[in-house]
Structure 1
Amino acid sequence: MNNPKISYHPIKTIFHIIAFFLLFLLEQLPLSILTLTKKQLGSKYQAYIKIAPIITIILLIVSATIIIFVFKQAQNFSTQKFTKKTWLIILIATILVALTNFATVPFMKSSNANVDALNLIGQNNMVILILFSVIVAPTLEEIIFRGIFMNWFFLNRPFVSILLSGIIFGYVHAPFGTGTDWIYALSKILLGIILAGVYYRTKNIKANITVHFLNNFLAIFAGLAISGVI
């Protein structure tokens, strides 16, 4: 990111890889509490529905605090202020994301593991699902996959950093395998690359969070409109 050449230390790099993986798991932990079903819990389901959202919110506060703290220590440059150029980049990125969705959504499978998990969470607590999808995910995912990843790995090779950020982002949303919806995975990879490009160009994590927020908000709005809720 226009930094002086930085030398890599193997031990530090290994530590960063492990820490990055653990931070991702930490970000996933809160919502995982809400993935149990009535079939699994039986008579305990009603009690679960009452206490699970509370545990989820507590875990969210803890995980968000840790992730944001790590990001502040990781960023290797001063955050740049929002300017007209920043907003222009956000606008262009949002249009690119919309075009990507327009081109890929019609060819996606009707369901996949990630969507199924989100539907299950929505059945247990729709309010928390919307909160996570619109606010929490755009914030914490951008901090982890852009803010932390791009400041820890391939600092001297921004193109590689941007590309890998997108590929890893796509993989965690659609793990590659025999049952992978490759169009869905491709859409997430392209989304990740666009968001990484925004962070690289603006030097402000809030810029790519904004683009991610707009993408998720519009997706939920469209989903609610199609289902007839709004």
Structure 2
Amino acid sequence: MNNIQIWKDDNPISQSKYRHVLWQSIVLIIVGLCTYTTIGIARHWGILILGLLLFSLFIYLMTKFKFELFKPERIHKQTWVYIFTAAVLSLLVYWSIALIFGQPHNQIDVYDDLRSLPLYVSFIIFVILAPFFEELIFRGFIMKGIFKGHVLIGYVVSSVLFGLMHGPTSLSECLIYIGLGFVFGGVYLLTRRIEASMICHALNNCAHILIFVFIFNH
């Protein structure tokens, strides 16, 4: 796939006019963030039920707005190659910087959560929920929604916002998370599959959990 094809918005997430896609994307970002946050911090059934209700609203709105982000066909072999290559690249980006400057504060907070939460709960939050919502918000609603028709600008802006969302406190932390944003966004653009960036993101998070379990938790 050449550069022109990569930056061509030939698979828009919606056929609606831009002004509609813009406000619909903003609404979905707000609802998505509320859903992810609510489920992620749920410590009793009341909060969890609220999160599930918000999730139902989130899915309903995506269907109502006719956002075409997921594809029903199976993921092809070449796409899997891109996914695993990008997952390895994401770990290289992280550790090549973290081994020199230390692990980001955000990752230390994640380790604290892993110590206090059951492993299966951590897996649900960090390997399923985080990739699902973060990829939809940053690669879907921002890169392809708010910046519909301007994928290159959306790619850069969404990657930077993704990095800032992780609360970096230094230049090295900025480089780590913005770099990961570029990797996840890149695999989406190369494959034209939001599922690919979600899986790549999930593999990256899963690797960090395994590293914690077998190395840092001893």
Could you say which residue in structure 1 is the equivalent of 2:39? 30
Could you say which residue in structure 2 is the equivalent of 1:101? 94
Three-state SS of the structure 1 residue aligned to 2:10 is coil
Task: Report the Cα offset of residue 161 of structure 1.
Answer: 1.3
1:203 to 173, 192, 210: 192
**TM-score under structure 1 normalisation?**
0.73
Contact in 1 for aligned 2:101/2:172 (Cα 8 Å): yes
Task: Report the Cα offset of residue 15 of structure 1.
Answer: 5.8
Could you say which residue in structure 2 is the equivalent of 1:48? none
Quick one: structure 1 residues 65 and 104, their matched pair in 2 at CA, closer, same or farther if it must change by over 3 Å? farther
Quick one: structure 1 residues 195 and 71, their matched pair in 2 at CA, closer, same or farther if it must change by over 3 Å? farther
Could you say which residue in structure 2 is the equivalent of 1:21? 30
Residue identity (%): 24
Quote the Cα distance in structure 2 between the aligned partners of 1:99 and 1:116.
Answer: 18
Could you say which residue in structure 2 is the equivalent of 1:75? 67
> In angstroms, what is the RMSD of aligned CA positions?
3.0
2:85 to 85, 92, 113: 92
Quote the Cα distance in structure 2 between the aligned partners of 1:165 and 1:88.
Answer: 24
Moved more, 212-221 or 193-202: 193-202
Task: Report the Cα offset of residue 167 of structure 1.
Answer: 0.9
Task: Report the Cα offset of residue 228 of structure 1.
Answer: 4.7
Could you say which residue in structure 2 is the equivalent of 1:142? 135
Task: Report the Cα offset of residue 100 of structure 1.
Answer: 0.6
Matches within 5 A, 1:36-51: none
| Stretches of structure 1 lacking an aligned partner (at least 5 in a row) | 34-51
Could you say which residue in structure 1 is the equivalent of 2:53? 62
Cα deviation 1:10-64 (Å, max 9, x = unaligned): x86356435423432332122234xxxxxxxxxxxxxxxxxx2434543443343
